[in-house]
Structure 1
């Protein structure tokens, strides 16, 4: 199972992955924007759908491990290891 740190920006003009950045503690995070607003879990659901589609895995393979109410989130992807996950993200 791969783990993916994400910094989510809801309410964007488009759903997109903006690439890698660092969080305030200096750890790498993937910057992602979604159109959905942070209401009733809509932004989290849009994030999961976008990542599943971008990584070429099923929606049920992608889950939110931490950060449901935060902009910084930890995503788990079943069926991929960390190396394969980063390779697929690099190919985007």
Structure 2
């Protein structure tokens, strides 16, 4: 499998936004032209190529966030927002 050339923030900047319970709030954009994670004004935006059908975009979001945090995808879990752009992820650091 070919690794994506995603634009990722510094892992420390992303880790700083994870709350005490290990949760990270993000805004997802499925069907984007490229894959990227941006942190602006304390808000995390995740853009993935996958379309929002059959959970493909959610899986892509989890994989990309895990890659940005240098974690296994199994350590990132979708807690809330399966059908919404606003998502809450659980991160096991």
TM-score, scaled relative to structure 2: 0.73
- Which structure has more relative contact order (CA 8 Å, sep 6+)? It is 1
Unaligned runs of 5+ in 2: 1-20
Q: What residue in structure 2 maps to residue 14 of structure 1?
A: 34
How far off its partner does 1:2 sit?
A: 1.4
The alignment yields a C-alpha RMSD, in angstroms, of: 1.2
How many corresponding residue pairs? 73
Shift of 1:42: 0.4
User: Which structure dedicates a bigger proportion of its chain to helix?
Assistant: 1
Specify which structure has the higher proportion of strand: 1
Runs (4+) of structure 1 moved beyond 4 Å? none
Structure 1 unmatched ranges of 5 or more? 22-27, 80-92
Q: Is 1:29 paired with 2:49?
A: no
